[in-house]
Amino acid sequence: MELYFLGTNAGVPTLQRNVTSIGLRMLDERRALWLFDCGEGTQHQILSSPLKLSKLEKIFITHLHGDHVFGLPGLLSSRAYQGGTTPLTLYGPPGTERMVSTAMELSQSRINYELTIVEHTGGKIFEDDSFIVESELLEHRIDSYGYRITEKDRPGSLDSARLAEYGLKPGPLFGRLKRGETITLEDGTLVRPEDVLGTPKRGKIITILGDTRPCDHVRTLAQDADVLVHEATFMHDLADTAHEYYHSTAQEAAEAARASNVGQLILTHFSSRYKDEEQLRPLLEEAQELFPNTLLAIEHQLIPLASWKEYNPVAD
């Protein structure tokens, strides 16, 4: 899994940064792209990225402020022209369907793929054999949600020595064992997956938050996550301003990461008063004082996602 930031600004775009959109690329896991928020200009940002709308499977909207959703009508309308003809599911808070359907109806836009819109108020909103997505309400001026993406544990590697003991050679039976099936040999011997598989591989947990003040549900969503993406609209010298506008500071994001025992913190959603990376550096330093494993989200930068233990190699 890899994160790709298509927009990192709060409120309005600038010449340096676009408004919020984050891609979660899962080519190895499901050959798919998931998108979190879709601010104005997102489809244009995608054109300059390695992301492909033909792979887009799901969009998760945190809240309905314009800097998080004004790119939706354009992206949905033009997706098919970029090879996106497979079904697409859009998740968002109440009002998402009305906003999208009104824009599409009044603009007489037509799409030639299956679009499903799922409105939610938190809880488990998606589960299949590989992933669970849960959501909780945060604290913002309008209903804003965070998402916790849990990759289910994967089977361990096949033990070649144990396979040899059973006289098994590479072939279809290997795949059945990896899928968790018990097989029967010609002599009637049963071989169970646990007989030949190593320790299951822990799936990753990614938490991506919408706009929020510090609140209890941040920790609910972020607890023991491998990666936490948290807004850091202001430095802490503007904590009163952040609180007034229902946002967080870089220090508050770091406090949440430390309290939630996450592996890595990525800061995003920066005020336009911070013009470039040099002016953003004090936010990074402020967070790193409390939580050293912190990165600034940089647009058009692909970030491979490691496990908690890889971020904390000396921890138990």
287 pLDDT above the threshold of 90: yes
Contact 24, 206 (CB under 8 A): yes
Instruction: List all residues 6 or more positions away from 241 whose beta carbon is below 8 Å from its beta carbon.
Output: 234
Domains and CATH numbers, the chain: 2-154+202-311 (3.60.15.10), 160-196 (no CATH)
Over residues 78-88, mean pLDDT: 91
Name which of 98-102, 186-190, 277-281 the model is least confident about: 186-190
DSSP per-residue codes, 38-81? --TTHHHHHHTSS--GGGEEEEE-----HHHHTTHHHHHHHGGG
Is 159 noted as a catalytic residue in this protein?
no
119-125 CB contacts, 8 Å cutoff, 24+ apart: 119/91, 119/92, 119/93, 119/94, 119/95, 120/91, 120/92, 120/93, 120/145, 121/93, 121/94, 125/91
Name which of 33-37, 57-61, 91-95, 196-200 the model is least confident about: 196-200
Contact 113, 88 (CB under 8 A): yes
pLDDT value, residue 314: 58
Closest listed residue to residue 210, CA positions, set 31, 34, 18, 36: 36
pLDDT band at residue 176 under the 50/70/90 scheme: confident
In angstroms, the CA 203 to CA 150 distance is 7
Over residues 120-149, mean pLDDT: 97
Known binding positions for Zn(2+): 63, 65, 67-68, 140, 211, 269
Choose the catalytic residue: 28, 37, 67, 128.
67
pTM for the model: 0.90
Tens digits of residue pLDDT in 33-80: 999 999 999 999 999 999 999 999 999 999 999 999 999 999 999 998
Q: How buried is residue 202: exposed, middle or buried, by Cβ count under 10 Å (0-12/13-18/19+)?
A: middle
pLDDT value, residue 115: 97
Hey, which of 98-112, 158-172, 179-193 has the most confident mean pLDDT? 98-112
